[in-house]
Amino acid sequence: MTTRLYENKIFLEHTTPAGHPERADRLRSLAIALEHPNFGQLERIEAPQANEDAVMLAHPESHFLSVMRQVPEEEGEIHQLESDTYLSSRSLAAALTGIGGAMAAVDDVFTGKADNVFVASRPPGHHAEKSKAMGFCLFNNIAIAARHAQKTYGVERVAIVDWDVHHGNGTQDIFWDDPSVLFCSTHQMPLYPGTGARDETGTKNNVVNAPLATNDGSEHFRDAFKSRVLPAVENFRPDFLLISAGFDAHHRDPLAQINLTGDDFDWATGRLMEIAGKYSGNRVVSLLEGGYDLEGLAESAGMHIIRLMKG
């Protein structure tokens, strides 16, 4: 397997208030983990910045303009966009570069430059709804990546699997009535943002939620995958597979109470890659979402990337 990783120093310049869990140290901890010899064959590439028009693949222009107007001009200044979502002077550039990395990753797997790609970007994206920034997220990177694959490469069936511990309400909102996109999510419930019940299925039965209870661990997570997520993806026979790879279901994470380890993310990655091998020409793109304990993030994301590299 040829695996690429997109990164960019601009992601460190999206500044949040002191003590905020979504901080630049998250990517610094992953960068330290990637210094291990196991990652010697990983192709590490600087993520490009997307054009502003890319945002409109998944959001109305009014949403982009609303975010843009609130970006502070002064370096060091931070504006509160929503209850837990902030903008600094470099946040818009960071968000557009996250989108650029996601779109470049799609290009890579459809032009044969890589089998799979991981995009190590921030801010995350899966809470951003069509017209609302929330949950640390400004724009929905994974939704934009899916639309880019459809628009540019004529992809008919895109599957998005989200194992972040918080439900991907934004992705669900964007694809709620779109049968060309399957959205599957495991997440803790009840927990922010309060969505993701099993009976939320989309108007075309293209949404599959598999909520986990507080203090669930590996067995429950893998059962949710085996009983709900994997059968849905298998039946969908996707042309392309996207992963919202949040690692805040790790047992060390301070924002939730699910007790996973790096082995669980390795296992889930492997199962999805098996399906991608059957239907998607091995094409997998994975985007970093949450994960707020630095050690837990480095362990879990590292094992996820190693599994992508091994195939």
Active site residues: 127
Identify the sign of the CA torsion 132, 138, 142, 143.
positive
3-state SS class at 86: strand
219-256: string of b/e by CB count within 10 Å (b at 16+)?
ebbbebbeebbbebbeebebbbbbbbbbbbbbbbbebb
260 backbone dihedrals φ, ψ, rounded to 5°: -90, 165
* Tokens linked to 307: 């599994």
Alpha helices (H) along the chain: 25-33, 61-69, 91-111, 141-153, 169-175, 218-224, 230-236, 262-279, 294-310
* Tokens linked to 151: 């628009």
The strands making up 116-119's β-sheet, listed across from edge to edge, are 43-46, 3-7, 116-119, 284-288, 240-245, 158-162, 181-188, 207-212
Q: Give the number of residues written for the chain.
A: 311
Strand pairing of 78-82 and 116-119?
Answer: unpaired
| Closest C-alpha among 106, 95, 101 to residue 52 | 95
Cβ atoms 163, 244 nearer than 8 A = yes
